[in-house]
Amino acid sequence: MINNIRNIIFDLGGVLIDWQPSAVYKTIFDTSEEVDWFLDNICTMEWNVIQDAGRSLKEATEVLQKQHPDWHDEIAAFYGRWTEMLV
């Protein structure tokens, strides 16, 4: 039976280890209200799911930065600092 296993897929974020985007944004914004607002309105979970479906992180970041140019650097941090979100 073991010889039939060809691939193993690990889902890290929230499965094997916890994934918290707020961990990064707590170092960027001054208050938890600002962190919550940003993640609820700019880098949303709905936006992140699109990348899980196959859109590249580069394209996703660029699209969102064009939609919200005032948040350029904060948007870049979402995937640029993703390893810091693994807690």
Give 3-31 pLDDT, tens digit per residue: 787 877 666 656 677 889 999 999 999 99
Which pair of tokens denotes residue 2?
A: 């073991």
Average pLDDT over residues 33-54: 95
**Cβ count within 10 A of residue 77:** 20
End-to-end alpha carbon distance in the chain: 35
Return the pLDDT at 2: 62
pLDDT classification of 60: cutoffs 50, 70, 90: very high
Average pLDDT over residues 46-71: 96
19 pairs with which residues across the strands?
86
Q: Is the pLDDT of residue 1 over 60?
A: no
- The reply to whether the predicted model has a pTM over 0.85 is no
Residue pair 25/35 in contact by the 8 Å Cβ criterion: yes
